[in-house]
Structure 1
Amino acid sequence: MKGMFLFLALAALVVADKIPEIGDSFNWERQKDILQLFRFVNQPSSYKKFVEVGKTFPVENEDLYTKPEVVEEFFSLYTNELLPRGVVFNLLNDEHLQYAIALYNLFYYAKDYETFLNVAIWARQNVNQGLFVYSLSVAIVHRPDTKDYLLPPIYEIFPQYFFNSHVIQKVQNYKQQLFLPYPFPQQYPKGSYIVTANYTPSLLYVNQEQSLGYFTEDVGLNAFNYYTYIYCPFWLSEGSIPSCRELSSSTLIISQMLAKYYMERLTNGLGHIEPLNFHPPYTHQTGFYPLLRYPNGLDFLIRPHGGETTGPVYLKTTTHNYNYTLSGQLLLDYGRRVRDAIDLGYVINTKGEKIEINGTNGLYILMNILQGNELSVNPRFYGSLIKYATYVYANTFIPLDTRGILPAALELPETAVRDPTFYSLYATIYKYLQRYLMYQPPYTYKDLELSGVTIQEFEISRLVTYYDYFYADISNALYVSEQEFVDDSVRVYVRQQRLNHQFFTYKLDVKSTKSEEVVVKVFIGPKYDEFNNVIDMYEQSANFALLDVFPYTLQVGENIIERNSKEFSGYLPDLPSFKDIYNKLSSTQSLEQILHQIKNSFLGVPSRLMLPKGTPSGQVYQLYVFIGPDSTSVLYPFDKFVKHHGYKVPNSYLTDVIVFFKEQQQTDNYTV
């Protein structure tokens, strides 16, 4: 799927201008406007201003836009009713994507904030809700006059994509019963209702893969995947964030995602990640039962365990529409062409010219080809392996038209991370990258050695993980009356246990013969595989995830470096909810606290998932500490193969650590 490589950006996903300063330039009313645009999106807004603007605003007036042609582009699609309200929006569908870009352009090129707001209100009342939320979110984080304001969490905008259908059904039942009272915690306003959400394995245990539900169904992880499509849309050129292009063209995202997932598999007694076949028969042993329901009431599609996917159907059908029916053949063709390019050492651009890839920009070129994004040297010839593999393995049926699309979980940014096939797809793509790296000269001991720098000692405190309760506002899952809408009198919260970890610290004793700028990196990886065999770091460096990275100035002599887990780069605390932001709007200090707490807005891995879960008796992992020059890539020295023993340089340190999972019994009197 295009753009999926932005999954785990970690410390590299830094957008320097995303920390707004609270002052004269911060408009409180604008923040309130943005929140109201996303409230109860599955029904037209009942705010008086919204109702009036939705009916009377001259949205087709070209004088309201700095780029007038965007009006015709959008309304040529809108008037054909390609995507009415209630239809499931699917970014992977070409027609839906075209529509989303057209609506984004309408928002982005509105001549000033007031025009932008009115266009957004008009769209809120008149266009498909999924289309609206996606395009508006992208516009808000990219427009200069809105980029500093907070979006409500996507799991509170569309709770149906993040919490199992029985939870949604439960709160809807309570609404129908006029919310018969029961106790609720004092920190929530009177009239609030709270339901408890469990992960899928506690409801339906189909296969062992579901034991990882605490990781794959984590709302923060799924939200992060979604926000990479918002902050770094694969189709955007004008006004895009420069660091997004760099990230989408690196191996960082794939390797980190696979490493974290693999460690969680080992915690649960599972082994290697099963790759996919990009050729018939299209079968996958791992079934998937998402237990999710779309806002329009239709259930998410399932994939039976060990069954054949719809890929063969795509190959046999004579109906050719929406690229679905061609996906099986295209997957074969594109896979072969990419492998040939890697083996030959060059790709062919749209002019038929050869472009060498065994050089500085080779990996950048290859990654863009694999994604099939706008930077691909020849998207027609190389296509997008990820996109068509998703079509085949999502087990999606061919839609009759754009109004009948029912995407599987694998196709949506909000839900893809829940599906084990998501990781199998990445494992398959990573094999292409490893094939490419085989042709590149490996690092040697001399390459990795930082002359004059020695790590003499490393200490780390006890590592403990546990579950604690997390709360989210899922009121958007309900339909409310006009009065309830205006008064915002209906509040429903879900609480769910999520993985977390205790605060920990580490200390480095480094000796240096000179003063210099360096980068310190700490990687974590498994010690034993599923058969209890010791894992050789030299052969399985891809299984090591980046835990921390930071710049440091070494002084001559002994350097004592101390870090705590709250300082680690690339991680994000729990996102502020609708309620949090609303309550802080009246206080400059409180809102500023939230803004600085989340730092680079929603671009970060949940800090809760910093450590693998571990086990009650303790699970052994390896930590690899490396100090290198500040000009290297984030993954260096794991971004290429290394000759044996090349990792054992004085400026590195390898040690074992144990992660303990602490089981806690938490009960209270307001569980429903």
Structure 2
Amino acid sequence: MKKVLLFCTLLAVAAARPGHEHDDVPTSQKQHDLNFMLWKIYEVNHDPHMLELEDTFDPQGANAHYNDDGHAAKILMDELNSGRLLEQKHWFSLFNTRQRTEALMLYDVLEHSTDWATFVGNAAYFRKRMNEGEFCYALYAAVVHSDLTRHVVLPPLYEVTPHMFTNAEVIEEAYRAKMTQKVTKIESKFTGSRKNPEQRIAYFGEDIGMNTHHVTWHLEFPFWWNDDHEGYHLDRKGENFFWVHHQLTVRFDAERISNYLAPVHELQWQEEIYEGFAPHTMYKYGGYFPSRPDHIQFSDVQGVANVRDMIIIEQRIRDAIAHGYVTGAHGEIIDIMNEHGIDVLGDLIESSLYSPNPEYYGALHNTAHVMLGRQGDPEGKFANPPGVLEHFETATRDPTFFRLHKYMDNIFKEHKDSLPSYTKEELTFTGVHIENLCVRGNLETYFEDFEYSLINAVDDTVEIPDVAISTVIPRLNHREFSFIVDVDNDQDHDVLATVRIFAWPHADNNGVEFTFDEGRWNAIELDKFWTFLHPGHNHIERRGADSSVTVPDVPSFRFLMERAEQALKDHVELDLDEYVSALGMPNRFLLPKGSRRGLSFDLVVAITDGAADAAVEDLHTNTKFNHYGYHGQYPDKRPHGYPLDRHVEDDRIFEELPNFKHVTVKVYHNPHY
């Protein structure tokens, strides 16, 4: 889950990472151990070796090896022995400062372990003694970032902690099935009813693959990341924060238009929150996720922030954009009127520890999530647990998540629109002419049933064995298709080219056509890859399944367990490289839903100079994951969304470019596929 990175480079350079001692434990054994660490995290460990380690491993003993001299282990053991850690069987939220601190104490211990025996020994020891939510988060973050777990695949969170992803009525039925020992397959429905127009696009916000993408991005690029502590830098983290949420927002709008709804309106602190939300989900321990009624005004949240504070922070950020610079913590002037300004703003708006001045510019994104999540009980009168917006796993279930991010996206747009537009000379790739752009195959979507296990949702008892319990829920998919691009290279030698493919809805829900400038800001990135263009004619065919912005869905927990056990039994290397990243959108989500009659989309391809674009060499030799990262570096020097990321004064600048092609296609939805 870390080797391939979404919209970024997670690792600055491999040499900058903390070193590890030689570790020759096979991946199959590591996968086996990880599986049992996360299998039924609220119950006793089901692996005999793990059970032994729980009581025999000493985090501060002679057999524990660290690259920080055991400093992190000492801190955590002191907290544990003093009884200061959160109790087990209690909700956990990353936005709770103390709970996050405790989870990161364990993360530090695991991350500083220099061999697998120490890593797994600590995991087993603290699994028994720490809060389950804190343990789960720390283990996931450590597996993402540790060199020891480079080829290990994390089980899907929706099967590790099903309560976060599954409606409460389904969980209750799962308990009945366990008690009656009845093999059961339960039908899941999306939250809400047909009286709620937002129900039409619930399949997007509640899709467990999309939820996995969102939480995985925040694991790869956590706001708590400290370079001095971790030993390396997360390249272009602020820009990646902007881009991943921008893409979620424009995709959400495309789904709304596919379902005859208007693009989502941004949230405003001084306006009412139009849509309420009833999550229909519950914590494993801690009660139900709180609801929010329709048509309420933002209230101050006790112990978090006042509405006035959020307005002031927003204004400071907008002032910085208007002035073209950010004021650093020591009064220094940081110029943002350039292609790197978006990176500064992303760090500032989130706010991560990379923010140049968090005391002045605050943490607009993180605080807003908590503010919105607690509007059902802002004074804490009813002692509700955190709302869905206070968990990255559940945040997109609430449609207001997208209103919140449209609000922040529009702030980013202010900055992008303040930059000078690209000129025709800057955009031209000399000697390259696109002759044709089309699609092979039908752009057709459909819903399919997806089944996942609920075994980890129900409690164990000595008297009652496990029984197969699962749930089935519809999810969006599409038929296979390919992009066809015919290109002429007039030069007498091969040239490296970057192929960038985007699409946006041709018109809004009222049939009003978007201008080119409106469309390009709403463009969905469909693919980006590098290829050599030979002299003369080049015929490029690129399958949608090979898109660099998407990944396969995470395999099931049972699949990972069976593959690991078989590899151990056969003494062969475990190969799960296909699933090393869960960062991208699921490939089946590459296309918006479209409509029965066919929804028109503007499809564009821009072919730019790969030699000028490339930040690393030999990009064409690794075409699958170029967009996510390559050998520890973000491969593209250009900004995310290039060349559509800046304001377009006159669309003829693009339409007359020989290396740009613009056509209209239709995406059909087949309800009877």
Instruction: Return the TM-score normalized by structure 1.
Output: 0.87
Distance 1:374 1:576 in 2: 33
Q: Where do 1:307-456 residues align within 5 Å?
A: 307-309=296-298, 311-312=299-300, 314=301, 321=303, 324=304, 326-396=305-375, 397=377, 406-456=385-435
SS in 1 for 2:528: strand
User: Aligned letter for 1:245?
Assistant: D
Distance 1:114 1:376 in 2: 37
* Mapped pair 1:69 → 2:56: no
Task: Give the direction of change, closer, same or farther, for the CA distance of 1:492–1:571 in structure 2 (3 Å limit).
Answer: same
User: Aligned letter for 1:454?
Assistant: H
Task: Give the direction of change, closer, same or farther, for the CA distance of 1:168–1:135 in structure 2 (3 Å limit).
Answer: same
* Mapped pair 1:263 → 2:254: yes
User: Aligned letter for 2:235?
Assistant: R
* Mapped pair 1:655 → 2:645: no
SS in 2 for 1:432: helix
SS in 1 for 2:518: coil
Q: Where do 1:41-190 residues align within 5 Å?
A: 41-45=41-45, 47-61=47-61, 64=64, 65-67=66-68, 68-78=70-80, 79-179=82-182
What residue is the counterpart of 1:37 in the other structure? 37
Query: Among 235, 241, 245, which residue is 1:245 paired with?
Result: 235
* Contact preservation (8 Å) 1:584, 1:590: no
* Contact preservation (8 Å) 1:459, 1:507: yes
Distance 2:36 2:130 in 1: 16
* Mapped pair 1:644 → 2:635: no
Distance 2:368 2:190 in 1: 27
The structural deviation recorded for 1:339 is: 1.3
What residue is the counterpart of 2:639 in the other structure? 633
Distance 1:386 1:331 in 2: 10
The structural deviation recorded for 1:260 is: 0.7
The structural deviation recorded for 1:651 is: 1.0
User: Aligned letter for 2:67?
Assistant: T
User: Aligned letter for 2:483?
Assistant: Y
What residue is the counterpart of 2:197 in the other structure? 208
Distance 2:571 2:399 in 1: 40
The structural deviation recorded for 1:72 is: 3.8
User: Aligned letter for 1:507?
Assistant: I
The structural deviation recorded for 1:301 is: 0.9
* Mapped pair 1:552 → 2:545: no
Task: Give the direction of change, closer, same or farther, for the CA distance of 1:445–1:420 in structure 2 (3 Å limit).
Answer: same
SS in 1 for 2:128: helix
What residue is the counterpart of 2:446 in the other structure? 466
Task: Give the direction of change, closer, same or farther, for the CA distance of 1:271–1:499 in structure 2 (3 Å limit).
Answer: same
The structural deviation recorded for 1:106 is: 1.6
Distance 1:207 1:40 in 2: 36
Task: Give the direction of change, closer, same or farther, for the CA distance of 1:126–1:404 in structure 2 (3 Å limit).
Answer: farther
Task: Give the direction of change, closer, same or farther, for the CA distance of 1:129–1:586 in structure 2 (3 Å limit).
Answer: closer
* Contact preservation (8 Å) 1:232, 1:241: no
Q: What runs of 5+ residues in structure 2 fail to find an aligned partner?
A: 15-22, 614-637
Query: Percent identity over the alignment?
Result: 27
What residue is the counterpart of 2:185 in the other structure? 194
Task: Give the direction of change, closer, same or farther, for the CA distance of 1:133–1:327 in structure 2 (3 Å limit).
Answer: farther
SS in 2 for 1:152: coil
Query: Among 437, 457, 460, which residue is 1:477 paired with?
Result: 457
CA deviations over 1:585-633 (Å, ceiling 9, x no partner): 24459997861332x4222210110101111222111101111122133
Distance 1:408 1:62 in 2: 43
SS in 2 for 1:54: helix
* Contact preservation (8 Å) 1:138, 1:231: yes
Distance 2:31 2:401 in 1: 35
CA deviations over 1:169-227 (Å, ceiling 9, x no partner): 11111112232xxxxxxxxxxxx5322222224xx345211211111111000011111
What residue is the counterpart of 1:502 in the other structure? 479
CA deviations over 1:337-396 (Å, ceiling 9, x no partner): 111111122222121222222234322211111111111111111111111212222235
Task: Give the direction of change, closer, same or farther, for the CA distance of 1:112–1:342 in structure 2 (3 Å limit).
Answer: same
User: Aligned letter for 1:74?
Assistant: L
Aligned residues: 623
Task: Give the direction of change, closer, same or farther, for the CA distance of 1:439–1:80 in structure 2 (3 Å limit).
Answer: same
Distance 2:61 2:307 in 1: 44
* Contact preservation (8 Å) 1:54, 1:125: yes
What residue is the counterpart of 2:635 in the other structure? none
Task: Give the direction of change, closer, same or farther, for the CA distance of 1:30–1:594 in structure 2 (3 Å limit).
Answer: closer
CA deviations over 1:108-155 (Å, ceiling 9, x no partner): 223421122121111111111110000011112222222221211111
* Contact preservation (8 Å) 2:85, 2:130: no
The structural deviation recorded for 1:657 is: 0.8
User: Aligned letter for 1:636?
Assistant: Y
What residue is the counterpart of 1:493 in the other structure? 470
Distance 1:75 1:333 in 2: 41
Question: Which aligned segments of 4 or more residues in structure 1 are displaced greater than 6 angstroms?
Answer: 13-17, 239-243, 589-594
* Contact preservation (8 Å) 1:522, 1:624: yes
What residue is the counterpart of 1:234 in the other structure? 223
Query: Among 264, 288, 301, which residue is 2:290 paired with?
Result: 301
What residue is the counterpart of 1:624 in the other structure? 604
Q: Which is worse superposed, 389-398 or 166-175?
A: 389-398
What residue is the counterpart of 2:672 in the other structure? 664
SS in 1 for 2:583: coil
* Contact preservation (8 Å) 1:523, 1:625: yes
* Contact preservation (8 Å) 2:290, 2:384: no
Distance 1:576 1:590 in 2: 22
Query: Among 597, 618, 642, which residue is 2:578 paired with?
Result: 597
The structural deviation recorded for 1:275 is: 0.7
The structural deviation recorded for 1:447 is: 2.1
SS in 2 for 1:459: strand
Distance 1:358 1:539 in 2: 22
User: Aligned letter for 2:645?
Assistant: D
The structural deviation recorded for 1:59 is: 3.0
Distance 1:241 1:549 in 2: 30
CA deviations over 1:7-54 (Å, ceiling 9, x no partner): x9866578899xxxxx97634222111100001112333544444433
Q: Which is worse superposed, 52-61 or 229-238?
A: 52-61
SS in 2 for 1:347: strand
SS in 2 for 1:249: helix
Instruction: Return the TM-score normalized by structure 2.
Output: 0.86
User: Aligned letter for 2:468?
Assistant: R
The structural deviation recorded for 1:490 is: 3.5
Distance 1:592 1:330 in 2: 55
User: Aligned letter for 1:217?
Assistant: E
The structural deviation recorded for 1:93 is: 1.6
Distance 2:8 2:344 in 1: 19
* Contact preservation (8 Å) 1:516, 1:555: yes
Q: Which is worse superposed, 348-357 or 157-166?
A: 348-357
CA RMSD of superposed structures (Å): 2.9
Distance 1:547 1:443 in 2: 22
The structural deviation recorded for 1:245 is: 3.3
User: Aligned letter for 2:255?
Assistant: E
User: Aligned letter for 1:177?
Assistant: T
SS in 1 for 2:73: helix
Task: Give the direction of change, closer, same or farther, for the CA distance of 1:607–1:590 in structure 2 (3 Å limit).
Answer: farther
Task: Give the direction of change, closer, same or farther, for the CA distance of 1:465–1:603 in structure 2 (3 Å limit).
Answer: same
The structural deviation recorded for 1:484 is: 6.5
User: Aligned letter for 1:338?
Assistant: I
* Contact preservation (8 Å) 1:615, 1:660: yes
The structural deviation recorded for 1:418 is: 1.2
* Contact preservation (8 Å) 1:62, 1:71: no
Distance 2:379 2:109 in 1: 28
* Contact preservation (8 Å) 1:512, 1:558: yes
* Contact preservation (8 Å) 2:216, 2:582: yes
